[in-house]
Amino acid sequence: MRLKLALAALMLPLTMPASAALAPGANAPNFTAKGAIAGRDFTVNLAKQLKKGPVVLYFFPAAFTPGCSAEAAAFAAAVDDFKKAGAVVIGMSADPVDKLRDFSAKDCAGKFAVASASPEVIRGYDVALGRQIGGRDATNRTSYVIAPNGKIIYAHSDLSPADHVRNTLAAVRNWRAAQKR
């Protein structure tokens, strides 16, 4: 019995999602990045987007990989719910803009912007995956919800795309409800 408990305790860190580097309450680093929306070039500036309301900023490893395509499709399907809650969705990876242009039209269904994360943005949000995909340093899968004041209000890191949309939408809704009190 003790051996089973010891083995379970050793395995627990391997089954739990990794924690995000920026904890709730931290300041989100501002950035301006080139990207695309609906297949057209677009420049994303965090401060400008925060003027519209909270921002869901999600990092993904690489466009057109199975998990990233599924996650983009899930965010695209839920984008109207995010808009109703007053939030803007922005996806980011280390992919070049030409690849993201195609990804934004196809897997994101033209519903939200995706941008190319520079090494400075990757460091600032501490989302380096620690390995390369397609010859580029990749980002891990981390989703942040950032309040209009620039503070992180929710963070979730997990290479599985399964909970990112549901969790960030709940965080936006909870934040919005708290603002009404």
Active site residues: 68
- SS3 of residue 129 by DSSP: strand
- Contacts (Cβ under 8 Å, ≥6 apart) of 41: 34, 35, 97, 101
Angle in degrees, 0-180, between the axes of helices 66-84 and 164-180, rounded to the nearest 10: 20
Q: Which of 111, 106, 99, 89 is nearest to 135 (CA)?
A: 99
Q: How many CB atoms lie within 10 A of CB 103?
A: 24
- On whether the CB atoms of residues 87 and 81 are closer than 8 A, the answer is no
